[in-house]
Structure 1
């Protein structure tokens, strides 16, 4: 088959070409339209009158395709988008230049969290959320040459590494619904509260589960005030006078709600579902969150959110195709 678009157009129409060649890339974008990107001012034409040779939707599809294929970085992405089948599948009329790819990513960095929020809404509208939210932080490895990366310690592997962190709230079948990029894996209480509020803005669950790092009064009281039951193990090291309880919520309910009771067996059963957030973290890492291939905090943050976006796109595509939304691959 010829690699030129002209030859392809001579042999058959693009529509016929797509009917013959079924690719994961086409399946990835079959059920989502990305024209909403035009609503962002950052993608408006230049004030000097220069129009865009390539448009935001096709470039966003191009980056998602590359991340799905484990291709990162401006040069590798540009090189991949020179492939005729790839740029046609992503909606391009012609392959983009390196400058075009670089400029789009720079613009996208300003609104990538809002793009993520839009995709969360698409997942919620399809019923992919459930009544249990889970919150956790994970590491994001970076290149040692990254000047903004923090030196961190991984106690599990007993090793130091350079990187960042990401606090994620997930639900359903490995669906991230709120996230924040952080300087290191250990997130602050302020970050936990901010991500929790973002998650509750999507929908109100029945339960929210976290490990003992979330054993704080503000986190528990905020959730209880919202009608959500927080489930995090009580950490006796947080006080000089430890209580005889397993979960902080036991004390909060006893103190503030005389007519509410929770059996510890129910709390235990709910907390046992916390491991789902670790599977979500692994799923998002499969989509590119695990290791950044960019230098600097701004570029690393964009890559993390692109990975989160890809995870949502894959889940939605699998759901619409009648496959498992929890899978990180699309089966043709």
Structure 2
């Protein structure tokens, strides 16, 4: 960043007022240099180089999502603001084409970017020993032809959009996720997201609602040394068992020496509301309603929202504030 650039646009005194904004605080402890390692961001075979580097472009998108700015044109317009592009690390404002190109490339690796940020959160001790899994709705633009009519059993209503299955822990920390065609995801999705979560770190408990009352999910977790707690769904059988949680039946299949008291299961299951709070926190970051047409762009926005949630949590933790807060206080 050159002083001449500052003097050309605004006084240095005016520029340093930006130091007190949430944007610079958002990036103060964040390492995004790993983005340079992805092949998708390498120079084109024709020799064409990028006008702006991936870390600064990512900071630009995170700034915009934090301030509820979505879509290629609105993001490009926001990044024309001198204070914004300077605080995001640009040496000049990016063009609309540069913004579009970065998002197009990011779509190929955005889930891996999310995984890198999960690792940063884990290294800071932001995970705990209780994981929760849940699915949430992702509302789409009416013009999005890739989206479909989905049913939300929680609100008992239909909506136009997609879904997202999330595993969270700690103070609203998402650690694994998968973008889905609807809120009601198949069992295979639950298994994949569960495996991804356990690959980060192994918890003691994994909590889910009655939608996760499946034998494969329970047996996989028990074999991994994790105790699954999901309400028993008597509608799954013609001969219902006299139990409240599926684990009461499955635990005997794995160990005759372990007993789980009803009060312990009830107390543990009550913590599942944490994933619902995580869902709301991520929706505040842009997951709730996509502002892009097409499944690929919608998926990118969902994972960018998940990334932003992690960045806000990491920033608040480093600043000595509550990592569960959805805002950064400056």
Residue among 96, 100, 106 paired with 2:104: 106
CA distance in 2, matches of 1:85, 1:20: 7
Residue among 191, 201, 204 paired with 1:203: 201
Alignment partner, residue 327 of structure 2: 329
CA distance in 2, matches of 1:136, 1:258: 30
Alignment partner, residue 280 of structure 2: 282
Determine helix, strand or coil for the equivalent of 1:307.
helix
Query: What stretches of structure 1 of length at least 5 have no aligned partner?
Result: none
Are the counterparts in 1 of residues 167 and 176 from structure 2 also a CA contact under 8 Å? yes
CA distance in 1, matches of 2:75, 2:327: 20
Are the counterparts in 1 of residues 127 and 170 from structure 2 also a CA contact under 8 Å? yes
Alignment partner, residue 44 of structure 1: 42
Task: Rate the CA distance shift 1:215–1:159 in 2: closer, same or farther, 3 A.
Answer: closer
Give the TM-score normalised by structure 2: 0.96
| Correspondence list, 1:1-332, <5 A | 6=4, 8-9=6-7, 17-18=15-16, 21-332=19-330
> Which stretch of the first structure deviates more once superposed, 189-198 or 19-28?
19-28
Are the counterparts in 1 of residues 222 and 254 from structure 2 also a CA contact under 8 Å? no
CA distance in 2, matches of 1:11, 1:64: 24
1:16 to partner: Cα distance: 9.5
Aligned length: 329
Task: Rate the CA distance shift 1:221–1:311 in 2: closer, same or farther, 3 A.
Answer: same
Task: Rate the CA distance shift 1:85–1:256 in 2: closer, same or farther, 3 A.
Answer: same
Deviation per CA, 1:183-202, whole angstroms, max 9, x where unpaired?
00001000000000000000
Determine helix, strand or coil for the equivalent of 1:130.
coil
CA distance in 2, matches of 1:73, 1:11: 26
1:240 to partner: Cα distance: 1.1
1:35 to partner: Cα distance: 1.1
CA distance in 1, matches of 2:232, 2:153: 22
Query: What stretches of structure 2 of length at least 5 have no aligned partner?
Result: none
Task: Rate the CA distance shift 1:67–1:11 in 2: closer, same or farther, 3 A.
Answer: closer
Determine helix, strand or coil for the equivalent of 1:75.
helix
CA distance in 2, matches of 1:330, 1:40: 29
Task: Rate the CA distance shift 1:93–1:11 in 2: closer, same or farther, 3 A.
Answer: closer
Give the TM-score normalised by structure 1: 0.95
Task: Rate the CA distance shift 1:35–1:263 in 2: closer, same or farther, 3 A.
Answer: same
Are the counterparts in 1 of residues 134 and 209 from structure 2 also a CA contact under 8 Å? yes
Are the counterparts in 1 of residues 151 and 183 from structure 2 also a CA contact under 8 Å? no
Task: Rate the CA distance shift 1:76–1:239 in 2: closer, same or farther, 3 A.
Answer: same
1:19 to partner: Cα distance: 6.8
- Give 4+ residue runs of structure 1 displaced > 4 Å after superposition: 10-16, 155-158
Deviation per CA, 1:10-52, whole angstroms, max 9, x where unpaired?
6999799447741100000000121110100000011111111
CA RMSD of aligned residues (A): 1.9
1:156 to partner: Cα distance: 4.9
CA distance in 2, matches of 1:11, 1:102: 25
1:8 to partner: Cα distance: 2.2
